[in-house]
């Protein structure tokens, strides 16, 4: 197989005369030597460029970054500095954003089962919007109104439009059979609008939908826009949020719409459909995924004649559970040999006590891949760090932002003391 396609690497990934890889002017080998492996390496300028593309496509404060894709204090500050709002889906995500010095009034609170505590924290902090997901949540907001925590919260209602996106069933959210939102087809959506409009506990300012994650077909977004426009235009509310879910290419041969194309499809559809509301979107993966790679060290190379070759690295499902959860595909390569042909097929596995701890079922790598090599997996900037775990009590990897020749540690590697911090015996 050919060398790793350079278009899968971040914008500022370069190969030196010696064949070694750098990101943002920083040597991957030097980053690994300083911070150890596994390590997430983010191209900071790439992150900023994707934020800027989204703002150019949709407008200032009409892009809401989905923090579930990747969040730390440095990332919260970065997207805020670039003019994005932030979508938080738990009290913990809100706490991280606030700890970063980002004001609550640029945050929107999501979640299909927000607790009383989370709602109370959001109202007290003064979040911009709460995206209401159920009648039970409206009940909770009625109870909280009696506590007089602050101004009446502005809310959007999450609508399930009955649009099926072409993606994995676990990350499809717009179909009728969904745990999210008020169902449009059975009349719940209209009932929720009527209740919210009559309520003194909330101020209804708009409606929201989200059809799924890692969607590659722009037509799916246009279909959702058409369904939502048909519902929203007669309501004449100030805001319409059409969610996120724009896919990215993970493996050779995949193609995804650009952020600009996504914007054109959605905004042209809304204009043609007579939408007068301010239209916003919630990208996460499209901002963060391709900005990062995970760098591992090869620990074992095990050839089983007539069966397969296993290559084990020092991470695995604890830093990237997507292959296990969704069967997601990834490419891999050696940072010392970026342009080399990848002639060996191997199963790339982690160090966890699970046969299912697989990062790539059929990884293509150079034939001379050996113990001690650095091995990189690109397009891991979304849903790697954020979905990571401590399975087998593995400490979670550090996060490094690389830009202008400076590799900046933004999340340190966990220690054994971190593992024991909450364990009171």
Check whether 316 has a pLDDT greater than 90.
Answer: yes
CATH number (domain holding residue 390): 2.40.37.10
Structure token pair of residue 323: 């292959």
pLDDT band at 222 (very low <50, low <70, confident <90, very high): confident
Q: Are residues 188 and 268 in the same domain?
A: yes
- Decide: 86 and 94 in contact? Cβ < 8 Å: no
Which of 257, 288, 319 is a domain's end point? 288
Instruction: Summarize pLDDT for 374-389 with one digit per residue, the tens.
Output: 999 999 999 999 999 9
What are the residue numbers of the active site? 353
Residues 100-150 have pLDDT tens digits of 999 999 999 999 999 999 999 999 999 999 999 999 999 999 999 999 999
Q: Which are the contacts of 327, defined by CB distance < 8 A and separation ≥ 6?
A: 168
127 and 268 together in one domain: yes
**Per-residue confidence (pLDDT) for residue 171, from 0 to 100:** 38
| 226, 88: one domain | yes
Query: Looking at residue 397, what is its pLDDT?
Result: 98
- Look at residue 34 and tell me whether its pLDDT is greater than 50: yes
* 257/326 same-domain check: no
Same domain, 98 and 241: yes
Cβ–Cβ < 8 Å for 265, 218: yes
For residue 425, tell me if it sits in a domain: no
Residues 344, 244 share a domain: no
Whether 59 shows a pLDDT value over 90: the answer reads yes
Read off the pLDDT of each residue in 204-232 and give the average, rounded to a whole number: 87
Per the prediction, the chain carries an average pLDDT of: 94
Mean per-residue pLDDT for 215-230?
Answer: 85
Number of residues assigned to the chain: 425
Q: How far is Cα 243 from Cα 374, in angstroms, rounded to an integer?
A: 37
On the question of pLDDT at 280 being above 70, the answer is yes
For residues 273-302, give the mean pLDDT: 97
Q: Is 103 helix (H, G, I), strand (E, B) or coil?
A: coil
Residue range of the domain that includes 392: 6-43+291-420
Query: Nearest 5 degrees, angle CA 334-CA 416-CA 99?
Result: 85
Domain co-membership, 280 together with 250: yes
Tens digits of per-residue pLDDT, 157-195? 999 988 765 444 433 444 567 788 999 989 999 999 999
| pLDDT for position 267 | 93
Specify the pTM: 0.95
Query: What is the pLDDT confidence band of residue 15, given thresholds at 50, 70 and 90?
Result: very high
Nearest to 347 by CA among 338, 356, 335, 334: 356
If asked whether residues 227 and 305 sit together in one domain, one would say: no
What domain count does the chain have? Answer: 2
Residues 312 and 339 in one domain: yes
Q: What is the CA radius of gyration of the chain?
A: 22
Q: Does the structure show a pLDDT above 80 at 324?
A: yes
Q: Say whether both 36 and 66 belong to one domain.
A: no
């Amino acid at each position: 197989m050919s060398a790793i396609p350079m278009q899968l690497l971040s914008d500022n990934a370069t190969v030196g005369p010696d064949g070694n890889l750098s990101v943002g002017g920083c040597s991957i080998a030097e980053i690994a030597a300083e911070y150890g492996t596994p390590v997430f390496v983010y191209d900071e300028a790439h992150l900023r460029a994707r934020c800027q593309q989204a703002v150019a496509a949709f407008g200032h404060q009409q892009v809401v970054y989905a923090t579930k894709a990747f969040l730390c204090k440095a990332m919260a500050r970065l997207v805020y500095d670039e003019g994005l709002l932030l979508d938080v889906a738990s009290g913990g995500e809100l706490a991280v954003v606030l700890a970063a010095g980002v004001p609550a009034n640029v945050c929107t609170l999501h979640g299909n089962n927000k607790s009383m505590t989370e709602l109370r924290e959001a109202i007290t902090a003064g979040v911009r919007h709460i995206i209401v997901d159920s009648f039970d949540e409206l009940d909770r907001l009625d109870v909280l109104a009696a506590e007089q925590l602050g101004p009446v919260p502005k809310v959007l209602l999450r609508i399930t439009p009955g649009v099926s996106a072409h993606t994995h069933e676990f990350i499809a959210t717009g179909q009728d059979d969904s745990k999210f939102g008020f169902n449009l087809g059975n009349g719940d959506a209209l009932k929720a609008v009527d209740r919210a409009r009559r309520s003194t506990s909330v101020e209804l300012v708009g409606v929201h939908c989200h059809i799924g994650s890692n969607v590659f077909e722009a037509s799916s977004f246009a279909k959702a826009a058409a369904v939502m426009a048909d519902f929203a235009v007669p309501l004449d509310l100030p805001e319409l949020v059409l969610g996120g879910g724009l896919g990215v290419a993970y493996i050779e041969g995949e193609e995804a719409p650009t952020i600009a194309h996504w914007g054109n499809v959605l905004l042209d559809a809304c204009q043609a459909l007579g939408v007068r509301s301010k239209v916003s979107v919630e990208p996460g993966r499209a901002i963060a995924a391709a900005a990062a790679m995970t760098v591992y060290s090869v620990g074992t190379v095990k050839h089983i004649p007539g069966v397969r070759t296993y290559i084990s690295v020092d991470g695995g499902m604890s830093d990237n559970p997507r292959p296990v959860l969704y069967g997601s595909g990834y490419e891999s390569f050696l940072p010392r040999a970026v342009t080399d042909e990848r002639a060996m097929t191997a199963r790339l596995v982690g160090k966890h006590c699970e046969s299912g701890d697989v990062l790539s079922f059929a990884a293509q790598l150079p034939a001379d891949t050996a113990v001690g090599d650095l091995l990189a997996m690109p397009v891991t900037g979304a849903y790697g760090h954020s979905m990571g775990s401590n399975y087998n009590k593995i400490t979670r990897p550090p996060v490094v932002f690389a830009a202008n020749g400076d590799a900046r540690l933004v999340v340190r590697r966990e220690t054994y003391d971190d593992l024991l911090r909450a364990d009171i015996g």
